[in-house]
Amino acid sequence: MKVLIAGGAGFIGSTVASACLDSGITPVIVDNLVTGRAEYVRDRLFYEGDIADGALIDRIFADHPDIAAVVHAAALIVVPESVSEPLRYYRENVAKSLELISHVTRNGCQRYLFSSSASIYAPGADFTVDETSALRPESPYARTKAVMEWVLEDCTNAYDLRVISLRYFNPIGADPKMRTGPQHPQPSHLLGRLISALDAGEEFHITGTDWPTRDGSGIRDFIHVWDLARAHVEALRRFDEVLPAGGASSYDVLNLGSGTGTTVREFVAAFQRVVDRPLRVSDAPSRPGDVVGSYTRTDKAAAALDWSCDYTVEDGIRHSLEWSSTHRRQLLGE
């Protein structure tokens, strides 16, 4: 089985590619390397270019007519940046994605896994959500994901296309075999900022401490990136069971998270346990685009994919630190 992974040189896409390889699925990768890393696609079937380039996508399908599915993991993902550069985010995450869908359907590929985001949810009263929960995307980044879900669902009603939208919660960690990991030397997400503060000997700021949670900090569902990648493999293998050709529906949604809510303060405490090094911590105001957060109920994904998480938050922190310690200079271009 071959799959086309759009954005396969990024953190998520490259890890999904590794999981595919380990399970006997051959990934074919397209990435423009704007944020992806060339070394993450070394010795893999790789085409450098943009997902909106129709001639390139046509060539990939001509070279690999046995591609059975597409994994769409190409997107910009930094929430504060999306607030300051919304046009860039709509251009990269929406406009170019429309072109990719057009190219994919033109080439007759019917199975499509879309990398969506839990950031589109409105938090429930107890901060848990499932696939039927209300949506309220708060940032331009989150809105691009919501828009693309609506587009894809409409496309399944008009074209010979079946789509599973995978709503990611908060990926952490790295490939346990250390083949790939987070590709940004100065990441903006919580774990990346903790690692940066620890390395620099700087104080870490918990941004947002007056949310209505058990300790005032935001709440998240942290999922190890390898568990996330394994879910993609199961979704590919079971695609026709989840969405049978000619079935009642051609569109479905699955939440991919650990099912456990961890507050930012609790995550910082777990980080300090893993590193066993002093880290100064203080409170700070929320950043633009920050939300209280949520965590998922996992019943639907567990039933559809026969899948659950193997790794803990501490495992994710430990693997991220291992990746950072061995690759940080490379990512910084030193």
Say whether 89 is catalytic: no
On average, the pLDDT of the chain sits at: 93
pLDDT at 289: 65
Q: Mean of the pLDDT values across residues 247-270?
A: 96
The first and second tokens of residue 23, run together, are: 């399970």
In the predicted structure, residue 185 carries a pLDDT above the cut 60: no
Q: Which position among 141, 168, 251, 311 bears the catalytic label?
A: 141
Least confident of 58-67, 193-202, 260-269, 300-309: 193-202
pLDDT at 334: 44
Q: Are 198 and 279 in contact (CB under 8 A)?
A: yes
Percent of the chain with pLDDT over 70: 96
In the predicted structure, residue 145 carries a pLDDT above the cut 90: yes
In the predicted structure, residue 186 carries a pLDDT above the cut 60: no
Q: Are 327 and 192 in contact (CB under 8 A)?
A: no
Least confident of 78-82, 267-271, 310-314: 78-82
What residues have CB less than 8 Å from 3, skipping those under 6 apart?
20, 25, 26, 27, 28, 67, 68, 69, 70, 71, 236
DSSP state of 71: E
